[in-house]
Amino acid sequence: MDISEILTKYREEIIEEWINRLSEVSPRYGKRSRGELYITVAAAYDASCAVLLDNDFSRIDCHIHWISQIRLRGGFALSEVQNAYELYRTTLFPVLVKELKSDELLQAIEKLNECLFYTITKFSDFFQSLHEKQIRNHAENLEHEVAERTKELGESEAKYRVLVEEINDGYFVNQDGNIVFANQAFCDLHGYTLKEIIGKPYTELLAPKYLHAVKRLYEQRMIGENASDLYMYYRRHKNGSHFPTENKVKCIVYQGKEAVAGICRDITERMETERRIRESERLAHIGKLTTSLAHEIRNPLSSVKMNSQIILKNTEFNGNDKRRMEIIFNETSRLERILDEMLNFAKPIRINLDPVSVHSIINSCLEIVDVRIKEKGIRVKKRYGKEIPGILLDHDRIEQAIINVLLNAVEALQAGGEIVIVTKHETKEKETMQIEILDNGPGISPDDLPYIFDPFYSNKKKGTGLGLSNVKKIIEAHGGTVYTIPRKPQGTHVFLTIPARKMV
């Protein structure tokens, strides 16, 4: 099946999924009627198809001009519409992986990336130009009013400030290296009050790594050299945190002196979306390689195991010969388990949600690993909090994830160690069930900690590095998160947080 047939066959399916996922982008999309969303999404789909199939960018240009004005009137932020466009890649990518072979898939992905890069860049520029046009129009009206009514200067300035405050992104004026004007959004982005931000050197708002590059751009602009109007850097928040940021700037005259005015926006969500897409593409490639390798090894391995079993039945074998054959059989079985882990990693996670009790799942997991726990004399403490009855989970998948974490703890502990299992029902921003598994083993080194959930990363002599990776896949498939921190004074503390969906 070629790309044209795929886009035709899956058109309605992709459009429906795209519409359904728009509510995840922002609450504003959830308030739009489904009929309107179908019109806009279908138009975006067909325009993008024209690029993919015929290299025709005219339809996407028309769509950008049309949707920009609609979304601007609707009060949408630039990042919201950018993320909505990104859903085209998110919904189409699995279909391409399913239907196309490697060379065709690569070409399709390259064309898809080219299409979306063009669409988002063009949309950002046009959306930004509309913002700037609004500002210019209002500024021109204000200047005309000032010329005619000098006595109303104060009122005109107040109207101008209100206009700037209503912009969703941060707006600032940098004069002589200091912030001399800023709207509330700019203050919020940096964690300061308006009183604190005015007069502050702009260099104090930059992450140290980007200080030299941004200073160079500012200096080039002030002496009339060519400098990019759009640039990315990391801003420094008042609390010391650093966040990815994009500035669009212009040279202006402010209160009779040269200055730089700019619009500042947070691009954390956009960068995270791009990271997830890259990660998805990387894992898809790894999955294909792992599946191929596992199938190639499984057949000869099964033959070795079967013949080992036959030879072990020979009563003439004894002593070292019998022991050697047992080692061959046991190691062959271990290799089969490793292959199963590799194949599980390569498969996409599909979850079947049923109402289950989290505490009953944990108790079942403890029964499964009970033999290993007793062999080492490990103490297990359960501190169960309030349970949500009948939350929707995939029983087998969650059980698999918890067992993997428990087995890691058991392997790390010495005889007489301790495992603590804590559950909490959280209702702060979203209703969640949190499972914490703590041990007092040697812990994880700071160098290893950032990578323990990466596929094939392991410091065990006989580990595949897929156990915790599969845990992460399972929890994220439920819409949850997993992370690990060191336990004080020693040990490991694992957090599994799962949305507490209930039966409707």
Rg (CA), the chain: 29
Residue with tokens 């089969």: 336
Residue 443 Ramachandran class (φ > 0 left, ψ -120 to 50 alpha, else beta) = left
Q: What pLDDT score was predicted for residue 192?
A: 94
pTM score, two decimals?
0.42
pLDDT band at 74 (very low <50, low <70, confident <90, very high): confident
Q: Please give the pLDDT value at position 269.
A: 86
pLDDT at 451: 72
Overall CATH class of domain 169-266: alpha beta
Ranking 88-92, 132-136, 364-368 by mean pLDDT, the lowest is 132-136
Residue 457: pLDDT over 70 = no
What rounded mean pLDDT belongs to the chain?
83
Q: What does the alpha-carbon distance between residue 277 and residue 269 come to, in Å, rounded to a whole number?
A: 12
Looking at the chain, the whole-number percentage of residues with pLDDT higher than 70 is 84
Q: How confident is the model at residue 276 (pLDDT cuts 50, 70, 90)?
A: confident
Return the pLDDT at 281. Answer: 67
Which architecture characterizes domain 354-499 according to CATH?
Answer: 2-Layer Sandwich (3.30)
pLDDT for 340: 67
- What pLDDT, on a 0 to 100 scale, did the predictor assign at position 166? 67
pLDDT for the residue 125: 87
Q: Which range has the worst mean pLDDT, 124-138, 158-172, 398-412?
A: 158-172
Q: How many CB atoms lie within 10 A of CB 79?
A: 21
Q: Are 352 and 393 spatial neighbours (Cβ–Cβ below 8 Å)?
A: no
Question: Helix (H, G, I), strand (E, B), or coil: what is residue 418?
Answer: strand
Which tokens sit at 90? 């998110």
**Number of neighbouring beta carbons within 10 Å of residue 394:** 19
Q: Is the pLDDT of residue 101 over 60?
A: yes
Same fold, 3-133 and 354-499: no
Is the pLDDT at 180 greater than 90, yes or no?
Answer: yes
Report pLDDT for 99: 87
pLDDT per residue as tens digits for the range 8-59: 889 999 999 999 988 888 888 888 898 999 999 899 999 999 988 899 999 9
CB 480 within 8 A of CB 496: yes
Give tens-digit pLDDT for 373-413: 888 899 999 999 887 777 889 888 898 889 888 988 888 88
**Alpha carbon distance 441, 102 (integer Å):** 45
Residue 245: pLDDT over 90: yes
On the question of a cis peptide bond just before residue 489, with omega within 30 degrees of 0, the verdict is yes
* Residues 6 or more apart in contact with residue 37 via CB below 8 angstroms: 19, 22, 29
Residue 406, helix vs strand vs coil: helix
SS3 content of the chain, % helix, strand, coil (to 5): 60, 15, 25
Residue 357: pLDDT above 70? yes
Highest mean predicted confidence (pLDDT) among 299-303, 361-365, 426-430: 361-365
What per-residue confidence (pLDDT) applies to 308? 74
pLDDT at residue 224, as a whole number: 82
The CATH architecture of the domain made up of 3-133 is Orthogonal Bundle (1.10)
Question: Counting beta carbons within 10 angstroms of the beta carbon of residue 365, is it exposed (0 to 12), middle (13 to 18) or buried (19 or more)?
Answer: buried
Lowest-confidence region among 83-87, 337-341, 448-452: 337-341
Q: Where in the chain are the domains?
A: 3-133, 169-266, 277-346, 354-499
- pLDDT (average), residues 309-332: 70
What's the pLDDT score for residue 39? Answer: 92
What are the phi and psi torsion angles at 218 (to 5°)? -65, -45
Give percent of the chain with pLDDT exceeding 90.
Answer: 21
- pLDDT value, residue 206: 93
41: left (phi over 0), alpha (psi -120 to 50) or beta: alpha
In this predicted structure, what is the pLDDT of residue 179?
93
